[in-house]
Structure 1
Amino acid sequence: MAGQSRSAARPEPSLARQALTVPNLLSILRLALVPVFLWLLLGPEEDGWALAVLMFAGFSDWLDGKLARWLDQMSRLGRLLDPAADRLYIAATLIAFLFRDIVPWWLVVALLTRELCVGVCLLVLRWRGFGPPEVTYVGKAATFNLMYAFPLLLLTQGGSTMAEVARPVAYAFSLWGAVLYFWSGVLYVVQTVRAVSGASRNSVR
């Protein structure tokens, strides 16, 4: 408890200082690779390199959280960068896969609509003076499943033995990820409604 008190009492460093921590540098690198990933998929269609970038994104997503806790470098900037990178990779992958006919259009529209709803919730919360909702385990599980599904979906392209083996696993991860992603979106909306309605009741009093 004393360690927590000392940590809470420390002044928060500037955003520039926060950006120079190891976990945040990983998140920034992950963000910088989003356009590279899109170009690899839609330009030369270098699926092998795109797969490597996507695997790095998934691994670094796990690693930066671990490093932030191990090195005691958790920060406000990190709490913004990490989910932003996840959402950008998911949106970029869905759009690229739509152009490549890897996933159906209705799935892309549905998942991007979910992202739009979450974005509106974040804007409403900020307008009412709240921070972003707490990241739920459902949301983490959804991101985990989708980050595994996307590389596997790339492997399903073609008629090789590897594609045949990867196909059912890729579809399973995609289904689980999509369901959990929708459910985490519903939880974001519920948290937003509760926060706004609670603030409204308090203001009436």
Structure 2
Amino acid sequence: MDGTGGREVSSRVLTIPNLLSFFRLALVPVFLVFVILAQDALALLVLVVSSITDFLDGYLARRLDQVSRLGQLLDPAADRLYIFAALIGLAWREVIPWWLVAVIVARDIMLAILGVILANHGYGPLPVHHLGKVATFCLFWALPLLMLGEAFTALAPVSLPLGWAFALWGAFLYWWAGFVYIGETSRVIRREGDDGPGRSDTLDQKEVDGA
């Protein structure tokens, strides 16, 4: 659910889109097990089902006017969990190095710390930066491409180099966006001295979705 489209965001929990999001989250451990067991074809199938579910919950939320705050939180959470599951599973099998996992996880920990700092100053999350979206897009392509190369050896000569290119570029952009968020956090906090108490209404218009 990428946007509200001018619709009111409700606090409802039991909606059809949210149930689809919960189903998508429930598939994360299934996906992780398949990756660890080197059942890459099945893992990719789970990703396809998850992607279809992701599209449906956003479409139905707008179609049925069931956009909710919970749904806006579940979607980016699911995206990150799938990335982390793929990273951990592939690193466990030594398909990718653990340092790549550490680089990506450390950036998200840093982002969480920035969120706490902003909250302590009365601000909501920073708006999404396009670099963060591009980085997440690269990682979403990188990990399935790496699994595709592992699952089908005939595709490996093309799939694996592309997967590594997306992975390394995504990790670089991930941290580039992270430094942008550090700068924005510093700017916002410095501005607090001029504008008075933190104005969370200026920052919570967007979640850090795909950041």
TM-score by length of 2: 0.77
User: Are the aligned partners of 1:58 and 1:147 in contact in 2 as well (CA < 8 Å)?
Assistant: no
Q: CA deviation at 1:61?
A: 4.0
Amino acid across the alignment from 1:111: I
Alignment partner of 1:37 out of 31, 38, 48? 31
Cα distance in structure 1, aligned partners of 2:62 and 2:172: 29
Cα distance in structure 1, aligned partners of 2:60 and 2:174: 25
State which drifts further: 32-41 or 107-116: 32-41
What does residue 48 of structure 1 align with?
41
What does residue 104 of structure 2 align with?
111
Query: Structure 1's 82 and 158: CA in aligned 2 closer, same or farther, altered over 3 A?
Result: closer
What does residue 127 of structure 1 align with?
120
Aligned pair count reads 193
Alignment partner of 1:24 out of 8, 18, 43? 18
Cα distance in structure 1, aligned partners of 2:27 and 2:52: 14
User: Are the aligned partners of 1:55 and 1:151 in contact in 2 as well (CA < 8 Å)?
Assistant: no
Q: Does 1:80 align with 2:73?
A: yes
Query: Structure 1's 93 and 158: CA in aligned 2 closer, same or farther, altered over 3 A?
Result: closer
Alignment partner of 1:100 out of 93, 96, 99? 93
Cα distance in structure 2, aligned partners of 1:70 and 1:187: 35
* CA deviation profile, 1:158-202 (whole Å, cap 9, x unmatched): 782212221222122223322222222222222322222222433
Cα distance in structure 1, aligned partners of 2:59 and 2:166: 23
Matches within 5 A, 1:53-202: 53-157=46-150, 160-202=153-195
Q: CA deviation at 1:117?
A: 0.4
Cα distance in structure 2, aligned partners of 1:63 and 1:138: 26
Query: Structure 1's 48 and 158: CA in aligned 2 closer, same or farther, altered over 3 A?
Result: closer
* CA deviation profile, 1:123-166 (whole Å, cap 9, x unmatched): 22222222222222222222222111111101222782212221
Cα distance in structure 2, aligned partners of 1:59 and 1:175: 27
Structure number with the higher helix fraction is: 1
Cα distance in structure 1, aligned partners of 2:193 and 2:158: 54
Query: Structure 1's 140 and 48: CA in aligned 2 closer, same or farther, altered over 3 A?
Result: same
Q: CA deviation at 1:120?
A: 0.6
Query: Structure 1's 38 and 159: CA in aligned 2 closer, same or farther, altered over 3 A?
Result: closer
Cα distance in structure 1, aligned partners of 2:99 and 2:50: 25
Q: Secondary structure at the match of 1:157?
A: helix
Amino acid across the alignment from 2:181: Y
Report % sequence identity: 47
Cα distance in structure 1, aligned partners of 2:110 and 2:42: 32
Cα distance in structure 1, aligned partners of 2:66 and 2:187: 31
User: Are the aligned partners of 2:10 and 2:67 in contact in 1 as well (CA < 8 Å)?
Assistant: no
State which drifts further: 105-114 or 184-193: 184-193
- Larger RCO (alpha carbons 8 Å, 6+ apart): 2
